[in-house]
Structure 1
Amino acid sequence: MELQTGSQARSPSTMTLSFPIIFLLSTNLGSEELQRLEEQIPTLTYDINEAEIVLGKVFRKERALFELRKHKLATEEVDPLERSAPASPNPKRAKLMTPAPASSDIDSDTASEGEIQRRLAGPSPAEPTVRVVKLAWFTDSVKTGVVLPTDDYLVYEGRKVPPTAPAKAPQPRPAEKVAEVMKRALADASSSPRSPQPRPSHGRRGETYASHPVRPLLRQTTSEHDMDTQLPPIPDYLHTPYSCQRPTPVHPPNEAFMAELDKIKTARTLTGDKIGVRAYSSAIATIAAYPYTIQTAQEVARLPGCGSKIARLFQEFKDTGQIREAREDETDPKLAVLKLFYGIWGVAETTARDFYNRGWRDLDDIVEYGWDSLTRVQQIGVKYYDEFQTKIPRAEVEAIANTILEHANRIRQGFQMVIVGGYRRGKLESGDVDVVLSHPDEAATHNFVERIVVSLERGRYITHTLSLSTANSERGQAPVSWKGDNRKAGTGFDTLDKALVVWQDPVWTTGEARNPNPHRRVDIIISPWKTAGCAVLGWTSGTTFQRDLRRYCKKELSLKFDSSGVRSRKDGSWVDLESGPDGKPAPDMLTAERRVFAGLGLQWRPPEERCTG
């Protein structure tokens, strides 16, 4: 069927306003609000050192100072009297300076954008400053259509203190100069006349940070300069903000560098730095899709989603074979404990931090002091911790999946199955086993998850059933409604019938009295045939691929995608992408998946090209 496209363009009010460079704090922001604000802020940076404004739900100076320290930005507070009185010019440069008019006297038609930004942000001292302002400043500015002065929203203002460095080390570039360099780089990158708007035309979130030039910040030898003039062209598909439109192989040419970045991303995850996780996820996904071995930091800097910070990290990696921050994270005793707890099945990063804050430092502490406070899933995760950490070879994944399919067809002939997850993306070993089962007869999949679990338990394959969801059957196997019905709407993978179980092969040939076979984590997902393609697509692809697929559907097509199907965001109706032109259902689950790609206007990407991590 023909899709109703309705790309949701960025609000014209934010596109035309000249905001200073903004760093957004994730503190006290929900994931949806955080993503919405990231998409609205046209001058967003992921590097707090480049920011003129630090924006967030912060109301006290003490909290503002804590956030700056947490992000390793050292400052000296600006005296309030210094803000209220005009700054005294340096006598040696008095002839080169002219008095700055009050912000109310600015002529927006004649003043430069940088000048307007500086007046609105406040007096510009000799050293670059940063202002921590309340979130209401940005939202009120958007509502009024004018970038408001920050004075009424100011929580804290401080001069940026450069890190300890040799006496001859270059001083930090003033923030307003950084802003101008950024704008020139963006104009060059888009091959268009310089524009006062510091965003590229495709509206990529955070591209202000992503496109910072790094040549003034990086050493470059003559040979590197010569090499820089002969860099391979950036593939067209890398200019899209959606990783679901790119081929991302399981073993990209820059895998070693990506592994270092992934260690930093994991540390950001464990410490609750949502913005940092998004920034590193985007950079890693871009580098994973880059088809050439990176030679210079300048080559990294030009890639969408990377920018100066990732370029500096590459230079460090190239020079030393490692990244200091990644090494420090690996040796940090607190992070080591958080990683241990995060590895427990059923424990998310917030729970890992809660365990740590209770004073627990290892699994024995959990068992001794907190066993009764754990959920059943977490108790099983602790009990079989070492076994669950052991990877599952492909042959064993296939054996487990074939057993599941065999039992399904014993109950009702005609079931089809696809092994999804990392196995389907080509990984040699998997952390768990994920399978999607479906049947052309919709009646066969109704409440089938309960029957398959009972059959496998009787065969002594399933030792523990930790979660059994029949949500899809309870709503008549209809795709989850989109804000239309009174039915409870779920999201993501929880919208299908599924069972999360612990698996152990009951057959062993050794003379041991107890079963020596390891316990494995297995997810059994049941999908009705009419949306099996969405289920296979959702459960196969890498995390960033899935995230960007949902963003693509929302922004470009006004649709909502999850593993239970596709719905219109306009009227909540189900959008059938899997039936053929004659209205007949797909002949198999893999054909249905291809039809979903085509129906969404996406080029087909085999599973081995969806390895975004």
Structure 2
Amino acid sequence: MILELPVIFLLPTQLDSDELHELEEKIPTLTYDINEAEVILGKVSRKQRALFELRKLKLHTEEVDPAEQRSRDASRSPPARPAKRIRLSTPAAAGGSSDIDSDTASEAEIQRRLEGPVASITTSPATIKVVKLAWLTDCLEAKKLLPLEEYIVYEGRKLCSSSSSSSPAPVSSRPSTPQTTPGKTGEEILRRAISDAPSFRPGSSHRYKSSYSSTSSQHRRDRPHPLSKPPALLHQTTSEHDIDANLPPIPCFLSTTYSCQRPTPPDPPNSDFIQQLLKIRTARTLQGDKIGVRAYSSAIATVAAYPHPFQSPQEVARLPGCGTKIALLFQEFRESGVVSEAYQGEADPQLRVLSLFYNIWGVAETTAREFYNRGWRDLDDVVEHGWDGLTRVQQIGVKFYDEFLEKIPRREVEQIADKILEHANGIEEGWEMVVVGGYRRGKAESGDVDVVLSHRDERATDRFVERIVLSLEGEGWITHTLSISTANSERGQVPVAWKGDDRSSRRGVGFDTLDKALVVWQDPRWDKGKGKGGKKKRNENLHRRVDIIISPWKTAGCAVLGWTSGTTFQRDLRRYCKKEKGLKFDSSGIRNRRDGRWVDLESDERGMPAPSMEVAEKRVFEGLGLEWREPRERCTW
């Protein structure tokens, strides 16, 4: 039974990525534009907190008395009758054709005819209700809609719309309509007619559309949604219609929402458009928009997996996770070569500063915003005003800022990995290694070096990470140790336990559950002769970021899989395991969510361990019911 839910905006406050995704799947009427919402749902229990969240989202309201509002709503609701028809006085445009070819039209007809090449009209409720998340869960449990009254935290009347819905559509996209009254265009009259119609309520046919503007602000909330349909608002020429009639079929692997079930190559045919989407996602990250980051990540993963160059916006809109928003962005990209939202993000002074701070190793987006709010605008400000307050890791990140941003070519990655393996086998014979991360996915250059080391004797892997760091430090290869974790050894080298809701391991995405060392690497070999003025030469080899991960052999396949795949691939792999298999995937192993037992997918039917880490990884795919994907097919950006 599908509940007839109102239009809902979901607050990301106190919800992690997995919870957000699960809730979004349960809300068929979800909108990513807060101005379209009738109900704002979230983990909010106090009116003051609700007001704070609304202000943060640039939605200004005044509180209304719930009883008074219900009375007003009742008085406005007309008795059941055919849809009211509104008389329009819209003369024909030049050339004798009329923008609206009848002087009367229903609200739905007005909406349909207003849909131009790019812009769409979105009406928003005059009032909104901030409601406890428990209302949705109780409705789903009861399998019926429950009254809102007991769950309402705050009810308010909108004073003005945020920039995301009030921004005008690009001038070039608007129909040329003669004025009928001073200062009023035909389109504006239609907008006014819709907003004044008491019986009009946004229906599901246009609920997810958002007004698009080439001057979108950083507070836009329109996002792609998997339920979006190929939109009628995208204007087509005759030639485009012919193209769409002959579009290639959507590959069967794109029918799934799990990117771990798709081949995603490192060089997709629409990579130029993906670069624009990546810039927008980065801006969303810096703004702390978790929902937007995840939504754009899903769309990017879908576009990256699509094996054909896009020919039209309608081709984009039909793909899962894309819909109207991404189709409109592609339409702009096709016409101008850039996406204005991506360009504006790069031009925004605040986002430029946030990006500068975010690129400091050890500084996350939250810390970057803290730095900005303190009035700091460059690295000199950080050093001058906040050096003593930085963590040691952040100080190292500032010190080697430019060097860490330099990409590492594949040949250098291999040289670093060879040296690590040489030292491992110098301590104890029998170590094997897989170079993971972007290198294994086929990238020409990497941001850092990630290696997984394993040994068939489990006694050898116990606390080995400390020994190899000391060995490499002794020869000068490691100049700084950022952090060392022996979490797996301390657990007895067993997969991390599943603790019910599993909140303890969500933040680390499984990466903190294995023994590992995050270090700064520098080749100690250089010409140590005298420089100019007789001064001793300094080592000019670049400092590099290196991660050394240690895994016991019995779960090395999970470690290699977890550390090889792209971020969205990993996210969807964990989601797939939870939703489809009742399992918890972690780079330290797999647990059954029912009883918490370790599930061994890497040994054969006789209980014999895998002959190599790569074979163990393939067995994990097979055991999870997933088609094997080469590392180069996991580039979900």
TM over 0.5: yes
Which range is displaced more, 150-159 or 251-260?
150-159
| Aligned residue in 2 for 1:559 | 583
1:22 maps to 2:1: no
Shift, 1:145, TM fit: 3.5
AA aligned to 2:280 is I
Q: CA deviation at 1:56?
A: 2.5
Give CA-to-partner distance per residue, 1:55-106, whole Å, 9 cap, x none.
Answer: 234567787677567556788998975652345589xx998659xxxxxxxx
CA distance in 1, matches of 2:551, 2:611: 15
2:274 matched residue in structure 1: 258
Preserved contact between residue 58 and residue 155 of structure 1 (Cα < 8 Å) = no
Q: How many residues align?
A: 549
Q: Does 1:495 align with 2:513?
A: yes
1:370 deviation in Å? 1.2
Q: Does 1:336 align with 2:323?
A: no
Unaligned stretches of 5+ residues in structure 1: 1-14, 99-113, 115-124, 184-205
3-state secondary structure, aligned to 1:592: helix
Distance in 2, matches of 1:73 and 1:313, equals 25
CA contact (8 A) 1:64 1:132 kept: no
Q: Which amino acid aligns with 2:26?
A: Q
Letter of the 2:526 partner, please give it: W
Does residue 518 of structure 2 align to residue 520 of structure 1?
A: no
Letter in 2 for 1:147: L
1:563-574 equivalences under 5 Å are 563-574=587-598
Distance 1:207 1:378, change over 3 A: closer
> Within 2, Cα distance between the matches of 1:44 and 1:363?
41
Q: 1:248 to 1:176 in 2, by over 3 A?
A: farther
Residues 1:506 and 2:524 aligned together = yes
- Of 377, 381, 388, which aligns to 1:372? 388
Whole-angstrom distance in 1 between the partners of 2:540 and 2:549: 27
SS at match of 1:298: helix
Q: What secondary structure is seen at the aligned counterpart in 2 of 1:231?
A: coil
Taking the TM superposition and a 5 Å limit, the aligned residue runs for 1:126-165 are 128-129=125-126, 131-135=128-132, 136-151=134-149, 153=152, 154-158=154-158, 162-164=166-168
* Residue of structure 2 equivalent to 1:38: 24
Decide which moves more: 473-482 or 432-441: 473-482
Which residue of 419, 433, 436 maps to 1:403?
Answer: 419
Query: Is contact 1:61-1:155 (8 Å) kept?
Result: no
SS, match of residue 252 in structure 1: coil
Q: Assess, with a 3 A threshold, how the Cα gap between structure 1 residues 573 and 401 changes in structure 2: closer, same or farther.
A: same
Q: CA RMSD in A?
A: 3.2
Q: State the identity as a percent.
A: 65
Aligned equivalent of 1:443? 459
Contact 1:424 1:608 in 2 (8 A): yes
Query: Partner letter of residue 598 of structure 2?
Result: W
Asked whether the equivalents of residues 258 and 287 of structure 1 are also in contact (C-alpha less than 8 Å), the reply is: yes
Q: Mean alpha-carbon deviation: is it higher for 287-296 or for 473-482?
A: 473-482
Task: Please tell me the residue identity of whatever aligns with 1:84.
Answer: S
Once residues 267 and 621 of structure 2 are traced to their aligned partners in structure 1, the CA distance between those partners, rounded to angstroms, is: 23
Mark the CA change 1:503 to 1:148 in structure 2 (over 3 Å): closer, same or farther: same
* Residues in 2 aligned to 1:126 and 1:549: alpha-carbon distance in whole angstroms: 38
| Structure 2 residue 609 is matched with structure 1 residue 581 | no
> What does 1:254-333 correspond to in 2, within 5 Å?
254-333=270-349
Unaligned runs of 5+ in 2: 86-107, 109-121, 175-184, 209-221, 532-536
Q: Which moved more, 1:140-149 or 1:551-560?
A: 140-149
Point out the more displaced range, 144-153 or 367-376.
144-153
Matched letter for residue 146 of structure 2: L
Instruction: Give the corresponding residue for 1:598.
Output: 622
Match of 1:84 in 2: 71
Structure 1 residues 372 and 176, CA gap change in structure 2 (3 angstroms): same
Q: Is this contact kept in 2: 1:388–1:521, CA < 8 A?
A: yes
User: 1:523-571: per-residue Cα shift (whole Å, max 9, x none)?
Assistant: 0001000000100000000000000000001111111111100111111
Measured after TM superposition, the shift of residue 133 of structure 1 is 2.1
Shift of 1:144: 4.0
Which residue number in structure 1 is paired with residue 216 of structure 2?
none
Instruction: Give the equivalent residue in structure 1 for 2:103.
Output: none
CA distance in 2, matches of 1:42, 1:528: 43
Q: Which residue of 1 aligns with 2:217?
A: none
Q: Note if contact 1:64-1:155 (Cα within 8 Å) is conserved in structure 2.
A: no
Aligned partner of residue 216 in structure 1, secondary structure: coil
Separation in 1, partners of 2:319, 2:371: 39
Residues in 1 aligned to 2:306 and 2:356: alpha-carbon distance in whole angstroms? 32
SS in 2 for 1:45: coil
- Cα deviation code 1:25-80 (max 9, x no counterpart): 21343445434422432332334454443323456778767756755678899897
3-state DSSP of counterpart to 2:413: helix
Structure 1 578/218 Cα, relative in aligned 2: closer, same or farther at 3 Å? same
- For residues 560 and 126 of structure 1, the distance between their equivalents in structure 2, rounded to whole angstroms, comes to 42
User: Comparing both chains, which one has the higher relative contact order based on Cα–Cα distances under 8 Å and sequence gaps of 6 or more?
Assistant: 1
Q: Secondary structure at the match of 2:314?
A: helix
1:179 Cα deviation from its structure 2 partner: 0.7
Deviation at 1:141, TM superposition (A): 2.9
Displacement after TM superposition at 1:597 (Å): 0.6
2-structure distance, mates of 1:446, 1:35: 37
Equivalent residue, structure 1, for 2:41 = 55
Once the two structures are TM-superposed, the CA of residue 421 in structure 1 deviates from its matched residue by 0.3
